[in-house]
Structure 1
Amino acid sequence: MREQAATWRSLLYVPGNNERFLGKAQSRGADALILDLEDSVPADRKQAARDMVAGALPELERGPSDLCLRVNGELLHLAGDLHLVAGRDLAAILLPKCEDAGKVRMVAEALDTLDPAGRTGIVPLIESPSGLHAAHAIAAAHPRVVALLLGSEDFAATCGIVPSEATLLGAKQQIVYAARAAGIAPLGLLDSVAAYSGDGIGELAARSAAFGFSGATAVHPGAVAPLNRGFSPSEDDIAWAEEVVEAMEAATREGRGAVSVGGRMIDKPILERARRTLARRRLAPTAD
């Protein structure tokens, strides 16, 4: 599950109560789809949205994009949402309003009953200062946790922050550090995708990748292709990584622990970065 989540460059939110959007979702080119039962669904339409998602899942499971489900954070709705996991091919649930590791473990215990094969992971959403304070514990709370994400708008509102790249940078970096320490995927952008369009989204994604993020969510299909491009290594990046790996493998055979590539000394940490770059390659073409 963790390896699967690490390959998600784009995760497109799809309102769970919109039949037309659900029907088109698998044609959008996203690495993963987030079928949303939370923010996009009014409180009095939660059950109707569950029924609509349940009806759409058999067809959605035939498509190329991985399927995730954003459940509700409140226990009243969360229990009903989790039952959608049973017998379905869901890669992960996005769990909002994670304040501590206890909530993650509680949901994981429920998933152990509903999904005994262990197919469905958990992506905790950090949306408050207390959640950020517990980010390392949340990221390492259970083997089902596959990625970590900061809910930027909710987090900013809770903190009294005007959301921007500058004001959220510290919190975003904490998400990267907590996720990497736990061996899971850090998801997010340095700024809101709403502030960008076209190539600007791709440039923002590439800058976010340089800060350690592996992919990000999108609320509009038009952001999918730029995110896929931005979070994919360039041809030059891949060529450099292949050269580093080849040179280090040759050095290892000769009993050396470091080697020079392009005039720069290469050792184990740089080898790991090169291997991570190669792991981010996608065999399937990026959809435009």
Structure 2
Amino acid sequence: MKHNIGDVARTLGITPSALHYFEREGIISPTKEESGHRTYTDFEVFRLMSYMKYRAMGVSVKEVSKQFSLTGDTLPEISQRLARKREEAAKKEENYRMMQEGIKWFEDSIERIPQHMDEFDVCYSPEVTLLDTRPDGLIPQDADVCKTFQSWLEDMPLTRISIALDQDGVAFMAQAKPGLVTAEDACGQRMIHLLPSISLHTILYMGDDIVDNPHQAFAGVLTHLQKHHFTQNAMAFGHVLVVDCSMGKRRIYLEVWVPFNAFE
């Protein structure tokens, strides 16, 4: 049975220009009628459906064309290619799992804002690893640190924009990831691994001055600790949760943890 280009294009969701391209690439060989129009047999439609199957697996047009040619790939070559595509799909699946995990964290954090806003409670801080880009601010000049910085950006939303406050009172912007991050590169010394610690915890908001004055995020918590005769005993940190612009100005919400010695 023969089909015209319009019917094939409409049914398979392929543009006529794409069908011409597939013809040039040798994927299909439609019949050229005396009128100049092309017609497609059921076998050509079958080949197009097979092409779509391989494209859905991530196989390139060139690879499909080579496989479909009369001097095409052997069965072992096809199997090896599909094994590579399966591995790529597994990696994408893991990436989507991590994305889902990161999105869920932010979703839950935003829902916690009303409950914890400006309220203090004592809890264990989460285990995190900070990427310290000092003294360059948010644009690291060291090539190795910059490479890791970019890699962490690609891992968002699992990576979080964060702030930190060391025991000397120096605050800085950083990136953070949950848990222990292993690194065997030159910027390993820039990674600060923080174990869970008894901490004073709260959620607050700041304005546009967060980058220039990150220490202000910890001021209220430190004052509360001092009021109860406790002191910070490890690096404090916080994560940016969300920026709310709905009230005519920016409110940058942060969740912070300040470790302290609970037995003083």
Normalising to structure 1: TM-score of the pair? Answer: 0.21
Larger relative helix fraction: 1
Bigger radius of gyration among the two: 2
